[in-house]
Amino acid sequence: MKWFLKRFCDLTQPELYGILQLRNAVFIVEQTCPYPDIDGHDIESYHLFLEDNQNKICACCRILDKGQTFPEASIGRFVVRKDKRNGGLARQMLQKAITFIDQQMDEHVIKIEAQAYLKNFYMEMGFTPCSDRFLDDGIPHIEMIRRA
């Protein structure tokens, strides 16, 4: 398996297709939540993703520059394929995203909208809640922030 980090314009067609396919499978089908996944932010984002040995995307997230969705840098569309969960990939991916934002983007504050059931996972990675719970497309979320 191999990690990649690319700007949207540098993604190959198969990579982009695999990222969108995984997000669709989890966020729309598995979570039964029809929502506009393709929201216009992918074009300006970095895409961190993991390919398995068959070149299939098994984990991905997007990294947004400050000002895109929040005044701070952000991580979103964070997803791990169902058959690859509970093996530490989410933690690896989040740490890689945090390190990239800290070191390459020189940003030291990260704000996210996390699904509420993942609050403890993000807290273990240094994020603290900064909002009350709210519904986003019918799913409970919470805003969280991390300061380096």
The string of pLDDT tens digits covering residues 16-46 is 999 999 999 998 888 888 878 888 899 999 9
Task: Tell me the average pLDDT of the chain.
Answer: 94
Q: Is residue 131 part of a domain?
A: no
pLDDT for 36: 81
- Pairing between β-strand 109-115 and β-strand 73-80 as defined by DSSP bridges: parallel
pLDDT for 116: 93
Q: Is 139's pLDDT higher than 90?
A: no
Q: Is residue 118 part of a domain?
A: no
Q: Is 145's pLDDT higher than 90?
A: yes
The tally of domains found in the chain comes to: 1
d(CA 59, CA 61): 7
The CA-atom distances, in angstroms, between 60 and each of 6, 24, 89, 94, 107 are 11, 12, 10, 10, 21
How many CB atoms neighbour CB 32 within 10 A? 9
| Domain ranges, residue 65 | 2-107
Distance of CA 48 to the CA centre of its chain: 8
pLDDT for 25: 92
Q: For residue 44, what is the domain's CATH number?
A: 3.40.630.30
pLDDT for 58: 95
pLDDT band at 127 (very low <50, low <70, confident <90, very high): very high
Mean pLDDT of 41-59: 95
Q: Is residue 14 part of a domain?
A: yes
**More reliable by pLDDT, 31 or 116:** 116
Q: Is residue 127 part of a domain?
A: no
pLDDT for 111: 98
Q: Is residue 97 part of a domain?
A: yes
Q: Is residue 43 part of a domain?
A: yes
Q: Is 136's pLDDT higher than 90?
A: no
